[in-house]
Every structure is written in C-alpha cells, then in structure tokens.
Amino acid sequence: MSPDDIWKKLHLTQTASLRERAHPEFWHALSRLNLPEDRVPDLAKLDDTVQAAAGWRLVPVEGHVPEPEFFALLAARRFPVIRKLRPEGEVFYAREPDLWHDAFGHLPFLMNPMVARLYENFGHAGLRALRLAPRYLTHLSRFYWYTIEFGLIDDGAGPRIYGAGILPSPGETEHALSPRARRVRFDVSRVVERPYESGALQKVLYVVSSFEELEAEFTEWSQACLPGSYRAKPRPETSS
C-alpha cells in the first residue's frame, strides 16, 4: 500500500464514520482546510492555506516535540506537524501520532478562531508554567488531553466529537459515542485531577456545551493558576 493509498483509505473511512458523529464545526473547518481526499497533502500548500485563512504557520517535525518547544510554537501561532505517515501495518491504529493525526485531527480547528486562540493560550500558559509554576504542567496537559485531544461537545443535538485524538482514529470514533465510554459533563476541577492513559481507549470523556464555554473555562482556570499567561488578543473573524 502506498502512502497515498493509506491516506485515501483513512480519509474514506473517517469521513463516513464521522458523518453523524463529528460536530458540524469540524466539517466546516475541514472544508476550509481543503485537505486532499486521495493523496498525502503537500505540507507547503497546507501551510499556505493555514497562513492565509488563520494566520498560523505549520512547522514540519519528525516526531514528538518536547514541551518547552511545543508551548513556544503554539504561543507564536506555529503548529508542529509530523511529516511521517503511519506504516501500512498500522493503518487503523497508529502507535504514535503521525501526519494523519495532525492534519485531520488538529489542523482543521486552526481555521476556527476560537479554537485557534485556545491553542495559542495553551502555549502561553505552558511557557508561564515552565518558568514560574511547574506544578501546573500536569494539570495543563490533562486539560489539553480531555479537551483538544479527546473532547466532546453537546450543544443540544447530542454528544459529538471535536477532539483531535478521536477524529482521525477509527477505534476512538466508534468507542467515544458508544455505551462503553462514560461521558461526563465538563468540570475543570475534575479534569485537571484525572490522570490519562495514552495508547488505550478512553474510559471517560468530558462534554462541553459550546466552544465558547471551553474558551471561558480555560481562560478562567489559567488566569487563576497562571496569572498573566492569557495573552492572545481576539482576532477578527475571517470569512469562509
């Protein structure tokens, strides 16, 4: 199977599986990102699209980015994108994040100004925590995990997916809205206290009612724990 075939298979599978399961904002953002359906995207072209529409730049990386660098990139509106695609033997379950995870899971929401601001403020909060309050790093990574990576949203139409750890993953997509996953109303005091396990299906998923609520919760929490870290100014909405 060529990398293009792997990409095409994942794209077909996930767009079908997510049809009723992903939040409409994901489809809106995905269409603005203009990700190819049948071949591995050209990162330079994707970078142009993201820069023009959202003011972010993409930074190709080889794999996991250490926390200080990751926070610094987000704070500067730069998103690290893993260059490598998963191998054929891991098409439906990749052991490590890869290009598919980043491009299909994370990049679409950079097109949403509110979520893009959240990424940026995670970066500022992370830099602040590293310098002044390392005890909050664990809390910050749990907040990120249970929202950006594994978040669900229920704005009245039932729970739907927005987390970048779920959207690209056939197994997590099927699991997240099934009776096997426990879906709990988002509560920041619980989220920051709950350890997570990577590499296993999530047992508990937290549900927000809107992206506005998510941003407000993060602003309030980060201003309380890491005062001075909330720096991103609201950006004008870009039209689609």
- Contact positions toward Fe ion, by CB under 5 A? 164
The edge-to-edge listing of strands for the beta sheet with 160-161 is 160-161, 152-153, 204-208, 182-185
Asked if residue 208 lies in contact with residue 151, where contact means CB atoms within 8 angstroms, the answer is yes
Q: Which residue is nearest to Fe ion (CB)?
A: 164
- Least Å distance between CB 167 and Fe ion? 10
End-to-end, the C-alpha distance of the chain in Å comes to: 35
Length of the chain: 240
Nearer to Fe ion, 5 or 35 (CB): 35
Identity of the residue numbered 146: Y
- Least Å distance between CB 97 and Fe ion? 5
Asked if residue 162 lies in contact with residue 168, where contact means CB atoms within 8 angstroms, the answer is no
- Least Å distance between CB 98 and Fe ion? 10
- Least Å distance between CB 148 and Fe ion? 7
- Least Å distance between CB 239 and Fe ion? 28
Nearer to Fe ion, 164 or 226 (CB): 164
Nearer to Fe ion, 46 or 164 (CB): 164
| Contacts for 188 with CB less than 8 Å, ≥ 6 apart | 143, 217, 220, 221
Q: How far is CA 130 from CA 37, 61, 196, in A?
A: 39, 22, 21
- Least Å distance between CB 235 and Fe ion? 23
Torsion of CA 181, 184, 187, 188, to 10 degrees: 10
Nearer to Fe ion, 138 or 209 (CB): 138
Asked if residue 106 lies in contact with residue 164, where contact means CB atoms within 8 angstroms, the answer is yes
Nearer to Fe ion, 164 or 176 (CB): 164
Nearer to Fe ion, 91 or 164 (CB): 164
